[in-house]
Amino acid sequence: MINEIKDNLLNCISPFWKRLKDEQGGFYGYMDFDLKCDKQAPKGVILNSRILWFFSNNYLLLKEDEDLKYAKHAYQFLINRCVDKEYGGVYWMLNADGSPQEEMKHTYNQAFAIYALSSYYDASGDRQALDEAFRLFRLIEERCTDSCGYQEAFDRTWRPIENHKLSDNEHLSGEGVVSEKTMNTLLHVLEAYTELYRVSQDQVVKDKLVHLLQMFRNKVYNPEKEILGVFFDNHLNAIADMHSYGHDIEAAWLLDKACEVLKDQKLIDETKDYTLKIAYKVREVAFEKGALNNERFKNEIDKTRVWWVQAEGIVGFINAYEKSKDEKFLTYAEALWTYIKEYMIDKRPGGEWFWQVSLEGAADSQKPIVEPWKCPYHNGRMCFEVIRRNKHV
């Protein structure tokens, strides 16, 4: 399994994203299902942050100088084009030429820029990258926090606006959910702060990370259902009966990683106690016909097989095995990889991974191969984590 995954990283994922480099800045923002790249498409800042994170970590793992060059290209685009020099923070979306298209600020977007800049600092030693990561960290803490966590959506000047970007789920039973706060944003703030603390050992970041872990345990986790809430009101009260299988299995290992980076045994033990329950619950209710279903909304189960959910499932199940020594978790991780090889990996020349496939295994031709959310973050990170944890696979 590990050799196949490493081969997919080296010979599929990495070269695919290298081909999307735009010599004028950043990386092209859209490729349709037929592998036609639209060089005039908008460039998502989340997409470009995740590409920066990917090549930085590819370099940290494999020490190939070419990866650092691609990371530097992504970094220069982020610093020169994505950062709002007047009001601070990163934009949501740019035009193909790098000019702002959607100037709103979202906490989620700031978090991914911190995540990417922190990794790039580790890879390159460029202090400017760390300084910018701290500027964004301070912006989040000054502009986005309230007494119950983190507000999410703002206009360019940091005035709060309605949080549509991460809270709409209109495909579920025809219903839409607009929430003031989301588990998704909170998880990726935690992920960003974990990486920033890892590379800086800054005490203020440490304190905020500990606070985030407490919020997850005391507010986001539902001990009766053994799942994480998804959508919340401003006081972190859950407002939807929903179980996001992919986010739960992703959170189960990211929460553990935060504790490990902090090297706090009490937090490690407290967090492990419930993240293992989360992993068992996902294994119990979400795994079907060799893969993970997408999510549950009330009594409706979306059985679409989404690329990132399968990737996070592998890491989450391996992580759960490391904590529990339950061999069944490794069996499920191996089953997911078998499924990915058969159905998720795009075997056409020049392909990468499909966005999603049906329960029957048919690729969804309406979903692009690249767009603002489709990136090398989840499947690339799965490869990194499996290689790093190779003694267990």
- For residue 118, give both structure tokens: 């922190």
pLDDT at 167 over 70: no
Average pLDDT of the residues in 364-390: 96
Closest CA relative to residue 377, chosen from 315, 332, 325: 315
DSSP 41: S
- The structure tokens listed for 296 are 């549950």
**Model pLDDT for residues 132-151, shown as the tens digit of each residue:** 999 999 999 999 999 999 99
Instruction: Please state, in angstroms and rounded to a whole number, the distance separating the CA atoms of residues 20 and 29.
Output: 8
Domains of the chain: which residue ranges?
A: 2-392
- The pTM (predicted TM-score) of the whole model is 0.96
At residue 251, the pLDDT reads 98
pLDDT, tens digit, 9 for 90 and up, residues 185-225: 999 999 999 999 999 999 999 999 999 999 999 999 999 99
pLDDT at 113 over 70: yes
d(CA 24, CA 267): 46
> For 232-249, what is the HEC assignment?
ECCCCCECCCEEEHHHHH
Q: Is the pLDDT of residue 66 over 60?
A: yes
Instruction: Write the DSSP assignment of 141-156 as a string of letters.
Output: IIIIEETTEE--EE-T
Q: Is the pLDDT of residue 231 over 90?
A: yes
Residue 12 parent element (H or E):
none
Residue 393: pLDDT above 70? no
Instruction: State residue 83's pLDDT score.
Output: 98
DSSP 173-213: TTB----SEEHHHHHHHHHHHHHHHHHH--HHHHHHHHHHH
The percent of residues in the chain predicted with pLDDT above 90, rounded, is: 94
Mean pLDDT across 7-24: 98
Burial class (CB within 10 angstroms; exposed 0-12, middle 13-18, buried 19+) of 315: buried
For the segment 311-325, what is each residue's pLDDT rounded down to a tens digit? 999 999 999 999 999
What average pLDDT does range 61-67 have in this prediction?
97
CATH of 2-392, one of 1.50.10.10, 3.90.1150.10, 2.40.50.140, 2.60.40.420: 1.50.10.10
28, 18 contact by CB (below 8 A): no
pLDDT band at 168 (very low <50, low <70, confident <90, very high): low
What's the whole-number average pLDDT of the chain? 95
